[in-house]
Structure 1
Amino acid sequence: MSNIKLPEDFKGVHFHFVGIKGTGMVALVEILNARGAIITGSDVSERFYTDEILDKIGLKALPFASSNITDSVQFVIYSSAYSPEKNPDLIEAKKRGLPMLLYTEALGAVSETAYSSGVCGVHGKTTTTGLVGTLLKEVDLPSQVLAGSIIASFGNSCTMNSSSFKKASENGEKTYFVAETCEYQRHFMAFAPKKIILTSVESDHQDYYPTYEDIRNAFVDYICKLPKNGQLIYCADDAGAVETARIAAKKRADIELIAYGEKASGDYQLTFGEVKNGKQYFSLKGSGEYKICVPGEHNVRNASAAIALVNEILKEAGKSPLDYSEKLRAGLENFAGGKRRSEIVGRAKNKLGQDVIFIDDYGHHPTAIKTTLDGFRKFYKNHKIIVDFMSHTYTRTQALLEEFASSFSSADKVIINKIYGSARENADAASVTGEILAEHAKKYHSDVTYAKEFDEAAKIGLSMLQEPSGENYPEGYIFVTMGAGDNWKVGKQILESLH
């Protein structure tokens, strides 16, 4: 971990970002920019969706070069994709003895300059963080929120900066910061949380955490970073989260445990209501009925977590959550999801004139796939569901092969692509392939097709969509691309051919 401290006041401080187009990096750029910092950055010339955020701020990524490190640069923040031994900007910064921080270290250093809360868990981090920011936007607290993807209700940005934040920051008043914090390689250990949301714990990132106990223990260690009487807001419906909270509480009896979910017993005990007119209704014991416009019971739980954290932050600021209940209800209805999180990417009609809704989702773990598809089944109950899935990493696919194979029960038809490997893996040495996954899926599902390449998948998907959806599905089709890879291109290709 880095021992580099950042100044309390960022006004006029020059930060140079190496790999500025990364999602986390660009979010941090927005956070520092809102605090008055001077920012430059470098990256490859290829255009990414994050370029739109940089354009809005008035920043242009420079090509990598030692000349980017001018005399005015005070701190260098860099993506783990770039090496201080090979990147010209970093070589020059090192030569000059400038303080250099990895993105995760920089996020941790920023968390020390505010009253900070971390959102963590194997599933639901980005959506929950997006929900927290959407709710905080409605209340008069000087707050900033950083999510791991573009959030529609943030104005298609990765961050929420409340209107009162800049002034409070400049006046040295107390400010509130909430960020998505990642368990991979224990990155969240650089963060300094006063409160934590824990959505879920189960086996994942098997290349780094070979066993469930390894990943669970990382979450325990993160929770133990809470200060005396810090708060852990955890999901009572997730067995891993419950176990992790229990172990952390044994180590740190002072930590205040706040449960949310159906199995919780306090203010955040959840009761699911009906799904109607594109909205999901639910109630919390302490504050009554709410509704959200995104599908899936998992998102109701994420919303409950977000309400809990915002209420606890309001209490910490000496305010009564009851005074804000209507604003929070309105904020919740404004939440439309994040990029690649059940994101509606387009609509079209097939040759029979039936509607086809195209959705792209980042779900790349069996639990996420299952709960997301279950959510679509309830939310879009009159639509036939076709899913195109691309598994991410050979190690995860191998470790959870049967779980993946059995996770598509809510879809009517399944197309499986080749595996999207990680740069850290040797594909030739892998003992599992997309085809093997498809064969296993056939044991659990009656309509599974393997299409190694995207062109083939698009052709198969288009032909499926041209058939009548059937009397059980009078409203047409949902075509879902799912995974952490780039198979969103399949949906894009089909959508373009229908227009």
Structure 2
Amino acid sequence: MKRGTLPKDVSGIKIHMIGIKGTGMSALAELLCARGARVSGSDVADVFYTDRILARLGVPVRTPFSCQNLADAPDVVIHSAAYVPEENDELAEAYRRGIPTLTYPEALGDISCARFSCGIAGVHGKTTTTAMIAQMVKELRLDASVLVGSAVSGNNDSCVVLNGDTFFIAETCEYRRHFLHFHPQKIVLTSVEHDHQDYYSSYEDILAAYFHYIDRLPQFGELFYCVDDQGVREVVQLAFFSRPDLVYVPYGERAWGDYGVSIHGVQDRKISFSLRGFAGEFYVALPGEHSVLNATGALALALSLVKKQYGEVTVEHLTALRKVLALFQGCRRRSEVLGEVRGILFMDDYGHHPTAIKKTLRGLKTFFPERRIVVDFMSHTYSRTAALLTEFAESFQDADVVILHEIYASAREVYQGEVNGEHLFELTKRKHRRVYYYEAVMQAVPFLQAELKEGDLFVTLGAGDNCKLGEVLFNYFKEEV
């Protein structure tokens, strides 16, 4: 059937969201509620942190999925791209009734089409960069709404900042080319490399997707790109020859112009850096040089919007931006600090690609040189693990102890006898002196209760469900005090 559309004015429209508990879907629900839509939703019965957000919004959420959830005759149905009518009876019923239906990426695209929109993209770094921009929007009082792919620290668990409607800034995802529904006027591009091997057959395939995303920029549209990233350099080179009309703004240590970065080092758990076009230093309170690059991309976009809204950049604007970066504590599952108990620091990070793992661990080692780093990693998807098996095994060099588990399978794939968690363990053992394997996450609890000691940093890494291990251990040591 022909897909539905979202009008610019959604006030009073009944919108039902299938798969509403997902991070992006709940953020979209918050955005739609703020604009006057009458939102309802459905999902599985499992409880997620987004349940609190939806309850606060007063959005009725029905479980489980059922044709009866459409009894209120919604005007529009938006569904998570993870669901298809062949596998979800509720969505199939919406199609059967002829209710205008669209996916989350399509809905995001419709919103972006009606506003001056900016997309943040990249295999790594897009969530943190978007979250930084969200806090900058608040501090600078920009007339903008921001949608982030994770809950932003200090933002009441929310993934959304609602500060106005002139600009729309959103994290845009490359998976299945979803970002090609978005209509950007400006793009921040953080990184490009081969990922989502279940969809992208090769590096050239994902490179082409990013090229087509850049090509969606209008004449004189702006591309802020991290020139330190090889994949970004390659896709920008392709874009430059076919789209010389675009405005290309590089940032990074290799960059010329205002956003050339010089990193000075770590001081009091903050990284000090300067930019070629601005006097004085900036500080970012997150580990890793990649955090400086994310901050610079965020600064570049924020300052371009300041110029558009206010006509000029003042000393006060720069002071506000310095404040945001110095105080920014990240977002959920991105170098997130769970707490410290008995001298053990507990953290959680979503890093699930070898590049992200290496950068995260290197950043933690620099930030906390006195701590022993104990890592619990759960690989995500058989296809990614198989394609990058050697790279995964070599990504833990900055960890002192490594715990591995069975691979966390995607809902989209079935294990067919290829690489599994034990294969990753055996290869990692050859490259690291202290590696342990527990098939199920909770089987590692007794070992870690005995292993962890004062001065350690324990971090769960990955897109699986091993994050619950940190919570269990934190509570255990808390009770032992």
**C-alpha contact 1:390 1:485 (8 A) present in aligned 2:** yes
Q: 1:70, CA displacement in angstroms? A: 5.0
Match of 2:464 in 1: 485
**What amino acid sits opposite 1:365 in the alignment?**
H
Mapped to 1, the partners of 2:2 and 2:211 lie a distance apart of: 21
More divergent stretch after superposition (224-233 vs 138-147): 138-147
1:344-493 → structure 2 map (5 Å cutoff)? 344-349=337-342, 355-430=343-418, 432-466=419-453, 476-493=455-472
**What amino acid sits opposite 1:401 in the alignment?**
L
* Distance verdict in 2 for CA 1:465–1:77, change over 3 Å: same
**C-alpha contact 1:153 1:334 (8 A) present in aligned 2:** no
Mapped to 2, the partners of 1:269 and 1:482 lie a distance apart of: 31
Q: Unmatched 5+ residue regions in structure 2?
A: none
Q: 1:483, CA displacement in angstroms? A: 0.5
**What amino acid sits opposite 1:445 in the alignment?**
H
Match of 2:314 in 1: 322
* Distance verdict in 2 for CA 1:66–1:418, change over 3 Å: closer
Mapped to 2, the partners of 1:334 and 1:127 lie a distance apart of: 14
Q: What do you get for the CA RMSD once the two structures are aligned?
A: 1.8
One of 250, 261, 268 as aligned partner of 1:270: 261
One of 276, 296, 299 as aligned partner of 1:304: 296
% identical aligned pairs = 47
Q: Secondary structure at the match of 2:301?
A: helix
Mapped to 2, the partners of 1:426 and 1:18 lie a distance apart of: 24
1:45-64 → structure 2 map (5 Å cutoff)? 45-63=45-63, 64=65
1:177-256 → structure 2 map (5 Å cutoff)? 177-256=168-247
* Distance verdict in 2 for CA 1:419–1:92, change over 3 Å: closer
Q: Secondary structure at the match of 2:403?
A: strand
Match of 2:270 in 1: 279
Match of 1:97 in 2: 98
Mapped to 2, the partners of 1:67 and 1:390 lie a distance apart of: 37
Q: 1:369, CA displacement in angstroms? A: 0.1
More divergent stretch after superposition (477-486 vs 454-463): 454-463
Q: Unmatched 5+ residue regions in structure 1?
A: 170-174, 350-354, 470-475
**C-alpha contact 2:5 2:102 (8 A) present in aligned 1:** no
**What amino acid sits opposite 1:484 in the alignment?**
A
Q: Secondary structure at the match of 2:351?
A: coil
Query: Structure 1, residues 75-95: CA drift from partner, whole Å, max 9, x if none?
Result: 110113333355454344334
**C-alpha contact 1:280 1:292 (8 A) present in aligned 2:** yes
Match of 2:79 in 1: 78
- Normalising by the residue count of structure 2, what TM-score does the alignment of the two structures yield? 0.95
- Structure 1 position 338 matched with structure 2 position 331: yes
- Normalising by the residue count of structure 1, what TM-score does the alignment of the two structures yield? 0.91
Q: 1:397, CA displacement in angstroms? A: 1.1
Aligned residues: 475
More divergent stretch after superposition (312-321 vs 145-154): 312-321
Q: 1:322, CA displacement in angstroms? A: 2.9
Match of 1:160 in 2: 161
Match of 1:473 in 2: none
Mapped to 1, the partners of 2:89 and 2:413 lie a distance apart of: 27
Query: Structure 1, residues 454-474: CA drift from partner, whole Å, max 9, x if none?
Result: 2332222222214xx6xxxxx
Mapped to 2, the partners of 1:458 and 1:401 lie a distance apart of: 26
**C-alpha contact 2:406 2:422 (8 A) present in aligned 1:** yes
Mapped to 2, the partners of 1:389 and 1:331 lie a distance apart of: 31
Mapped to 1, the partners of 2:235 and 2:169 lie a distance apart of: 21
Q: 1:334, CA displacement in angstroms? A: 2.9
More divergent stretch after superposition (73-82 vs 403-412): 73-82
- Structure 1 position 137 matched with structure 2 position 141: no
Q: Secondary structure at the match of 1:208?
A: coil
